[in-house]
Structures are given as C-alpha cells and as structure tokens.
Amino acid sequence: MSDSESQNSGVQSAPNRSRRLWPWFVVGFLGAFLAIAYFGSGYFLTHQGVYRVPLGRYYALEWKRVWNGNQGEGPASGSALVAAKTFGEHVLLSGVGGTLLAAVGWSLSKLRRK
C-alpha cells in the first residue's frame, strides 16, 4: 500500500464517524427546539397589556406584527429586534440540545465497540 492510499484511508474513516452522529444531533436539535417552543414563553405587548404566550405563538404574533407594519407609535408598536434575539437564543439552546444528544450517541458507539 502506498503512502497516499494509507493517508486516504485515514481521511475516509473520520467523515464516516461524524456522519453517524448527525442523526443524533438533528433529533436532539429538533427535540429541544420543539420543547422550548412549547414549554418556553415570551411576553407579547399589545395596547391592552402584556401577555405571556408560548414561544411558538410569540413568533407567530411578532411575525404578523412585522408583516403588517407598525400599527401605531409607542412601546407596543413593534419589537422585531427582540423577537430576532429571542429566536437566536432559541436556536442556540437547541444547538446545545443537539450537541448533548450527539455526545450521547458518541458515548453509546464507544461502548458498543468495546
């Protein structure tokens, strides 16, 4: 076996291991994303008051508000930046959930090999 073949065989095995962890990451990410969307909450401000709503509903209300444009002036006129920040945190926490489940998958694969 030549040197280039031995180098290629090492390069090909690494992506196979990481490819097997992607399903674990995706399931963990989606599970965390949906759990946070359902159990997490956001505060939606209207002219009548402040309402605590599930994050999924919060995103829908904020998107509707952004899509329709500001309906007036004042603190209840829009908070697209806050919604974007909340969504970014939501995605980041979901990424942590995906990484944790991928770590579980990696640990299980190590235990099976022994």
Could you please report the per-residue DSSP string of 81-112? HHHHHHHHHHHHHHHHHHHHHHHHHHHHHHHH
Phi, psi of 72 (to 5 degrees): 170, -170
Distance CA 10, CA 18 (A): 13
User: Average pLDDT in the 87-103 region?
Assistant: 96
Q: How do residues 40-61 score in pLDDT, each as one tens digit?
A: 998 888 778 888 999 999 888 8
Contact (CB, 8 A) for 28 and 99: yes
Q: pTM score > 0.75 for this model?
A: no
- Rounded Cα gap, residues 59 and 78, in angstroms: 12
